[in-house]
Amino acid sequence: MTDYNSVPHRELGVEFGELAGQIEGHSYPITNEELVEEYGEHVIEFPNGTESVREILGSFANETYESPREARQAVFNMVDSRAIGRKYYSDRTPPAIGERREDQQLSF
């Protein structure tokens, strides 16, 4: 038996909330149309906004998900750029001119 409380509610900056457990507990396969019909009103939160499942997956036609992982991946693939947080950010590149990162110490 799956413990739906242990299902991550936030992944890759996307907050699924109670929808995480519902997707996990649903029987598969499920078509995109069925997923939207069942869960379309649920709101997905991300760092810079929110969208409903219907807004995210509504135009994703003719898809069938074989597992909860595939259903979550469809959401990740279709959320707009507000879900990614700071665009083009990488902590692996040198700071831009005039940029100071929190992990850097001032040196004189």
Which pLDDT belongs to residue 65? 95
Distance in angstroms (rounded) separating the CA atoms of residues 21 and 5: 7
Which pLDDT belongs to residue 5? 46
Which pLDDT belongs to residue 4? 43
Q: Which residues pair with residue 65 across a beta bridge?
A: 30
Distance in angstroms (rounded) separating the CA atoms of residues 54 and 40: 4
Which pLDDT belongs to residue 97? 72
Average pLDDT for consecutive 10-residue bins of the chain (108 residues)?
A: 50 79 94 94 85 87 91 83 55 66 56
pTM for this one?
0.65
The set of residues, in sequence order, having a beta carbon less than 8 Å from that of 61 and lying 6+ positions away, is: 32, 33
Distance in angstroms (rounded) separating the CA atoms of residues 32 and 64: 6
Mean pLDDT score across all residues of the chain: 77
Domain ranges for the chain, please list them.
4-84
Q: What angle do CA 16, 20, 21 make, to 5 degrees?
A: 150
